[in-house]
Amino acid sequence: MTIARRYREAVDRGGIVRAMNTSVTCEIADDGTITLDTCEADSWRNSGQLLAMMVVRATPASAFPSFSTIDRTSLGLAPRGERPLWSKLVNYSAYRVLDGPPPFYRLARLAVSIAPIPVPKVNLTSGALVESAEIVLESGKAAASIDYPPKEVREKRRVTQTVECQVQADRSVICHKLIFDPPENAPYFEDQAKRMYMHAIVKERLKSGNPAAGVRFRIRTRWVLPSSG
């Protein structure tokens, strides 16, 4: 996992992710390899299983066992989908063919053993402070969702938040210093704020050409209630 992900998972669990043993289910591709982005937790409400799923998806494919190959045409099987459908609830990536053979897919149950994960040693107050416009993303985005939180809509909450973030050595981003106005609305928005850039990787260099690793930047977001009209 990235430094940012390890930091957030450990901090949210009181300073360390404790060792755990669990399992996930993954699809086996026709060439016998594990299709990592199909690996699913049994329960999306179980934080340990979700963490295991993230660990598996971030693990090099070479670390997994290989299985026998299959030829769908010679076996008279439905063709495999072009991309995973992300959930066993929709039969993974097997196509449903009208009046044809039923979807066919192979699954592997993988045991996952996770060693303790402490908070990474980072100094979030160091590094040059640059304008957020200098940051160029290589992958991911600033926020997983920009939807106004439904509870905050019901309670008519609004806030202006300022979040300070730092680019790590692996170019993942930790956002940590949160300022809210008005401060009494902070508990309603801070969970989303601290997870900004959680899935993002920054390009190696800023727009100015300087190295991105280590720099800090601030993002200001104004949450305004959606128009009722």
Predicted local distance difference test score (pLDDT) of residue 178: 84
Q: What is the pLDDT along the chain (229 residues), one digit of tens a residue?
A: 899 999 998 998 889 989 989 888 888 989 999 888 788 887 777 888 888 888 888 888 888 899 999 998 898 887 776 544 444 444 455 555 566 666 778 889 988 888 999 999 999 999 999 999 999 999 988 875 556 666 766 777 778 889 999 999 999 999 988 888 888 878 777 877 888 898 899 999 999 999 999 999 999 888 777 664 4
Predicted local distance difference test score (pLDDT) of residue 121: 94
Helix ranges restricted to H, the chain: 3-12, 47-57, 72-75, 150-154, 186-194
Predicted local distance difference test score (pLDDT) of residue 88: 46
Q: Are 223 and 158 in contact (CB under 8 A)?
A: yes
The domain segmentation of the chain, as residue ranges, is 20-114, 129-223
Q: Which two tokens stand for residue 88?
A: 């066993």
Find residue 40's DSSP bridge partners. 25
Q: Tokens 């937790």: give the residue.
A: 41
CA distance 95 to 102: 8
CA distance 84 to 92: 6
CA distance 74 to 147: 48
Predicted local distance difference test score (pLDDT) of residue 81: 61
Percent with pLDDT over 90 in the chain: 34
What is the chain's Cα-based Rg? Answer: 21
Predicted local distance difference test score (pLDDT) of residue 85: 43
Q: Which two tokens stand for residue 139?
A: 């992958």
Q: Tokens 């979807």: give the residue.
A: 103
Fold of 129-223: TolA/TonB C-terminal domain (3.30.2420)
